[in-house]
A and B are shown apart, each in its own frame.
Chain A
Amino acid sequence: MTSIDQAPAAATAHSPASGAPLLELDSVACEYKLDGGGRFRAVNGVSLQLGRSEVLGLVGESGCGKSTLAKLICGLEKPADGSITFDGHPVRALGLKKRAKELLGIQMVFQNPYASLNPRRRIRDQLDDALALNPDGTWTVESLLEAVDLPADSAQRYSHSFSGGQRQRIAIARALAAGPKVLVGDEPIASLDAFLQARIARMMRDLAIDSGASMIFISHDLSVVRDIADRVAVMEAGRIVEVGSTEQIWNDPNHPYTQKLLAAIPKVDGKGFIPG
């Protein structure tokens, strides 16, 4: 994936101060009620900043709170504590009402493309819905499909006729159509096979950056995150234990948990060594 000429230049439209981070999380916490009365803090005092045209990788093991954090950013979950600010506006939890206009700049790509597309509507209709949210954008259904490397006749088809990798590309196209400033990918590549994972991840990065957006890329796979992220945040049991440039996290991790995660990745060197 290379050039996208029709990049919507909405990113600079009404940014309050160009120095301020695009998205800021300030000691955010989220709790779930447990059966039997207890409470479980899935996210505990997380502070993070996302700059403009930046890709932030968020890694951690299952159950560490990565997905809850993604939901908080999109307003799908209500924070128990702390605040989230997007482009100067506070992010409020999405109720039964329409999402506030200023928050439409946050778009999400979900893990399972089999569940996130509507099986009863044509791809064109689903992309059109997203395009309608961004009337100033320069995307069209055709240009979106081209950008994600799908044939133009895909627009007439239904989601069941696509493979997992193709569906995920449709989901990415739909998120882009709304002209996001922050693209949140919650394990967008986890359901794809290893050879497609790197390709789709790179495609997401290129498309997000070329259209002037930032991206939060959540994955349990450090090796893919290393490929596409500018900065990496490592999460363990609801807390961010380490944030740093991708280079630093990969080559010189400070926190023991990051070191443990890195050491567990099997190397493709043919030496027959089991990590850990």
Chain B
Amino acid sequence: MSMISIRDLNLSVTAGKKTTHILKDVSFDLEAGRITGVAGASGSGKTQTGLAVMGLSPTGAELSGSIDFDGVELVGMPAKQHNRLRGVQLSMVFQDPASAFHPMLTVGDQITDHLRHHQKVSKKVALAKAVEILGRTRVPHPEEAVKKYPHQFSGGQLQRIAFASAIICDPKVLIADEPTTALDVTVQAGILRLLRELCDDLDLAVLLVTHDFGVLSSVADTIVVMKNGVVVETGEREAVITAPQHEYTRSLIESLPGAEVSP
């Protein structure tokens, strides 16, 4: 049984008289304890798929089809009900850690905000949990880190804090939207290792959105390739990368410097 099962998901946005179809009949599954990587060029709809699961589709968006989360239908769910899932069972990590945090609140306040709201724990208990989780995502000196502000951290450390914030309520699903794109390669490797570890240890169903096949080759278990809002190929990591079935996947991988595709 899949944790999240997306079936025939369609998303269209109407601005004025013009309607744009962003997602067309997208179907794939997220399994607990596995990383599903979604690849595609800019504008292929990979981010919108992740946002649709979170219920964060843009205003004026028309969503149809089905997103089944452990027996609960997410498409058409009222915002109030969605709020009870977001941050608790469904969590998200964004691309740019520098703009994902409020610059004038301490890290401790920010990563316990949703914990205190959803689980009604005291500030003291929440902070203790924050210290524990920051240690879990290997932020150096967690006791001091909770008192610091975002500008006092490097990009890689902030992304670790963002992961801490995402897992503090023990979610079932984690959506990571280009979590390493803004980071240096040497820092990227550490974040990827963390993602793999969290996925395995916490049995998370991870949706990893990226345009980097190197990242997918390192951590994804299943790869979904999207083009113009359509899923063109789904398969196991090694099969998709070494022997892509679809011409578009092949062209994407071949366009990368140093890729090895069997002829």
Interface residues of A (CB under 8 A from B): 61-62, 163-164, 192-196, 198-199, 220-224, 226-227, 260-261, 264-276
Contacts and interface: CB of A to CB of B under 8 A. Distances in A.
B217 A61 contact: no
Contacts, number: 103
A266 B192 contact: yes
Interface of B: 41-43, 155, 184-186, 188-190, 192-193, 196, 211-215, 217-219, 221, 237-242, 252-253, 255-260
Contacts of A273: 217-218
A270 B252 contact: no
B185 A220 contact: yes
B255 A265 contact: no
Contacts of A274: 189, 192-193, 196, 218-219
Given A195-B255, A198-B255, A270-B240, A264 B218 contact: no
Interface SS majority for chain B: helix
Which of A163, A164, A223 gathers the greatest number of chain B CB atoms within 10 Å? Answer: A223
Contact of B42 (A62, A164, A223, A270): A164
Contact of B211 (A195, A220, A261, A272): A195
6 contacts: A221-B185, A223-B214, A261-B186, A264-B186, A273-B218, A274-B193
Interface centre among A195, A270, A276 (most CB of B within 10 A): A270
Contacts of B188: 264, 266
Nearest to B44: A193
Contact of A195 (B186, B214, B219, B256): B256
A266 B257 contact: no
Contact of A272 (B184, B238, B259): B238
B241 A269 contact: yes
A195 B227 CA distance: 12
Given A195-B256, A198-B256, A270 B237 contact: yes
A267 B258 CA distance: 8
B217 A268 contact: yes
Leading 10 A-B pairs by shortest Cβ distance: A276-B189, A270-B241, A266-B214, A270-B238, A264-B185, A268-B259, A227-B257, A266-B218, A61-B184, A193-B211
